[in-house]
Amino acid sequence: MSSTRSIKQRIDNVSSVEQLIRAMDMVASTKLIKARSQLEGVRPIYNQLKFIVEKIGRQEEAKNHVYYKEREVKSSLYIILTSDKGLSGGFNANISHKALEHMEGKNEKLLIVGFKGNDFFHKHGKTISKSVIDVSDTQVYYGSESLSRWSTDKFLSGEVDEVFVCYTDFINVLNYEPIIERMLPVCPWNGESEDSEIKYEPDIGVFIDEMVPLYLHMNLFRAFSEAHTSENAARMVSMDAAGKNAEEVIEDLTRQYNRIRQAAITSEITEIVGSRSVMNKEK
C-alpha cells in the first residue's frame, strides 16, 4: 500500500500541474477573444472581394485571363496552415491528414506554416518548398501578403498550375472544420449574374490585375485568422478538459490518502485498546 507521504507528494505535483493548466487555459481564452475579433473584422471584406472577383470571371474578356484560365495540372501548390505549438487536441492532425489525403496522386509542392505541420510532412517524406515557423500575431497581415505574392509568382511563372490553401474553418468554440480551398485559378461565380453591362476602366484586364492579388492576399489573411481562432479555441477546450481531469485525479488521491490515514488511526486505536486490556488482566 502506498505511504501517505508518497500520496501527499503526488497530490502536490498534480496540483502544480493543474495551476499550470489553468494559466494556459486563461491565456488561450484571452487570445481567442482577440483572434475572434480579428476574424469577424476580416470576413466581410473577404466575402465582398470574393463576390466581386468570382462575378468578374463570368465576363467573356476574363475567361482567358491567366488568373481564371484552366490549364492542364502538372504540379500543385498546397499552402497548409498549422500551429507552432501542441496541446490543442486534434487541430493540427486533422488539417494535416486531410491535406495529405487530398494531395494523393498529385505532383505537389508544399508551403507549410507552423512547426507542427512542418514536422508532420517531413515524417511523411514530403518535400517542403518553403516553411514559415514562429509567426507572431503582429506579422500575420504582412506575412500573408508576402506568402500570397510568393505563391502567385509560382503560379504565373508556370511552376505550379493550381494553388490550394488548407486551413481550419472556425464555426464556434466547440466546432472547427478542416477545409481545402482552391485559390488559383479563380473559380467563376456559379449563380445568376446581372452585371453584364458593367464597364471597367481602363479595361477589365487592368482591373483584374489589380483586384485579384488583393483578393488572394485577403483570402490567405482570412484563412490565417480562421486557423488561429480555431487553434486557440481547441487549446482552450483541451486545457479545460485537462483541468477537469486533474481535479478528478486529486479527488481520487485525496480519498486514497484519507483511507490510509483512517486505517492507520484505526490500527493505532486498536493497539491502544488492546494494550490496556492486557494491562488490566495483569492487574
164 phi-psi bin (left φ>0, alpha ψ -120 to 50, beta other): beta
Instruction: Give the residue-averaged pLDDT of 209-237.
Output: 93
Q: Cβ neighbours of residue 58 under 8 Å, at least 6 residues apart?
A: 188, 189, 193, 196
CA–CA dist 160, 275 (Å, integer):
90
Which tens digit of pLDDT belongs to each residue from 158-189?
A: 999 999 999 999 999 889 899 999 999 998 87
pLDDT confidence band for 259 (50 / 70 / 90): confident
- AA identity, residue 37: S
pTM here is 0.83
Better-scored residue on pLDDT, 78 or 257: 78
Helix (H) / strand (E) containing 174: none
Q: Tell me the CB-side half-sphere exposure of residue 123, using CA atoms within 13 A.
A: 9
CA distance 64 to 60: 8
**In what helix (H) or strand (E) does residue 181 lie, and over which residues does it extend?**
strand 175-184
Q: Report, as an integer, the average pLDDT of 52-71.
A: 87
- Which residue ranges form the domains of the chain, and what is each CATH number? 4-19+239-282 (1.10.287), 21-236 (3.40.1380.10)
